[in-house]
Amino acid sequence: MKFKAVALCTVALAASLSAENLIQDALDAGLVAIPSDPKALTKAINEASPDADKFPTTMAAYELGKRLYFDPRLSKSGIISCNTCHNLGLGGADGVPASTGHKWTPNPHHVNAPTVYNSVFNSVQFWDGRAAHLAAQAAGPMTAEPEMASTPELVVGRLKSIPAYVNEFKKAFNSEINFDLVTTAIGIFERTLVTPSRFDKFLEGDVNALNDVEKKGLKTFIDKGCATCHNGINLGGTLQPFEVTGKYEFANVGDFKGDENGLVKAPTLRNVELTAPYFHNGAVWSLSDAVKMMGSVQLGIEINDKEAADIVTFLNSLTGKMPKVEYPSFPASTDKTSKPELDY
């Protein structure tokens, strides 16, 4: 019995040391945990938010931003909100290859809506990285004709016609309503949409936070070179070259080609099991297929079915704890509020 107990202890110690080595390998590969310590998390969010010093995350700004995020009156038609394409109940995306906007207009470039969860940790926003932070991103869909089809003047005019919103802006920003503060408030709300996972606990030293299969998948993820682009606190979110070693099979779906240098934002892998379909044009529905495709397109290697399955098992451990967001009630429109323009 003594021998058996010693053997079991030896196995457990070896497994613990192996897990500790894997944690170090992950850290060496550039993977970073979402901090479990609230102060450290606040620091990480603020460091990732260029406007955090000027516009801190107060409760008044958060509540205002949340209301605006869900309010469809920010769209020309009065029926599309930020949450329409970045649905917090659907992993922060919309679950279709390319979003549908004003007058049922499909996205003209056939671009897939990225998740809003953890987007604060992206170094750039949009697939081509054209916005540097969340507030700048919020302005894009709101004023794009195939999306919410609004204008800054329309948005501000509608909000100013609603006394409750006038008061909320004064409370949150001590200011009258202007379009920059509208997008700022939305960005402040989006800063809070962070989803820590078991993977983060593992990186912070809890060797039992991942099971053996997930650990094997993480090792395969690192060994195959996936962390070359999918690294940092968001396992993505930075501009990267695309089609490095091979051609993307569905490159002809839509006309998106990246930024002026052909760079494309590597999507965050957090909550990736919730955000199908995949790639910038939403052409791939299977996460396993996406993993194998990235092997050939980006790394110049073959990732076989077993290896892809292991990696997917690890990726599923990145599904995090969603923040509790209560759907808001909206203040009433008034006689001065402009009517919805459906353009039927």
Is 55 inside a domain boundary?
A: yes
Least confident of 1-10, 57-66, 203-212: 1-10
pTM (predicted TM-score) = 0.94
Instruction: Give the pLDDT score at 273.
Output: 98
Query: Same structural domain for residues 95 and 158?
Result: yes
User: What whole-number distance in Å separates Cα of residue 121 and Cα of residue 43?
Assistant: 12
Query: 274: domain range?
Result: 21-36+196-317
pLDDT one-digit tens code per residue, 302-333: 999 999 999 999 999 999 999 999 999 999 99
Share of the chain above pLDDT 70, in %: 95
* Residue from 19, 36, 68, 53 nearest 168 by CA: 68
Number of H helices and E strands in the chain, helices first, is 12, 2
Query: Same structural domain for residues 200 and 183?
Result: no
Give 129 or 1, the one with higher predicted confidence: 129
Rounded mean pLDDT of the chain?
95
For residue 318, what are its two tokens?
Answer: 């990145």
pLDDT band at residue 344 under the 50/70/90 scheme = confident
pLDDT one-digit tens code per residue, 175-201: 999 999 999 999 999 999 999 999 999
Q: Is the pLDDT of residue 8 over 50?
A: no
Query: Same structural domain for residues 95 and 119?
Result: yes
Say which CATH number the domain at 102 has. 1.10.760.10
* pLDDT, mean of residues 190-213: 98
Give 16 or 66, the one with higher predicted confidence: 66
Residue 253 CB burial class (10 angstroms; 0-12, 13-18, ≥19): middle
Residue 247 CB burial class (10 angstroms; 0-12, 13-18, ≥19): exposed
pLDDT band at residue 17 under the 50/70/90 scheme = low
Is 164 inside a domain boundary?
A: yes
Q: Is the pLDDT of residue 119 over 70?
A: yes
* pLDDT, mean of residues 255-262: 96
Q: Which residues are annotated as a binding site for heme c?
A: 82, 85-86, 102, 226, 229-230, 294
Query: Same structural domain for residues 167 and 210?
Result: no
**Does residue 224 contact residue 299 with C-beta atoms inside 8 Å?**
yes
Instruction: Give the pLDDT score at 27.
Output: 98
Structural domains counted in the chain:
2
Is 257 inside a domain boundary?
A: yes
**Does residue 30 contact residue 114 with C-beta atoms inside 8 Å?**
no
Least confident of 9-18, 19-28, 43-52: 9-18
Give 343 or 297, the one with higher predicted confidence: 297
* pLDDT, mean of residues 69-87: 98
Query: Same structural domain for residues 187 and 200?
Result: no
Q: Out of 129, 162, 191, pick the residue that ends a domain.
A: 191
Query: Same structural domain for residues 79 and 167?
Result: yes
Q: Which residues are catalytic?
A: 147
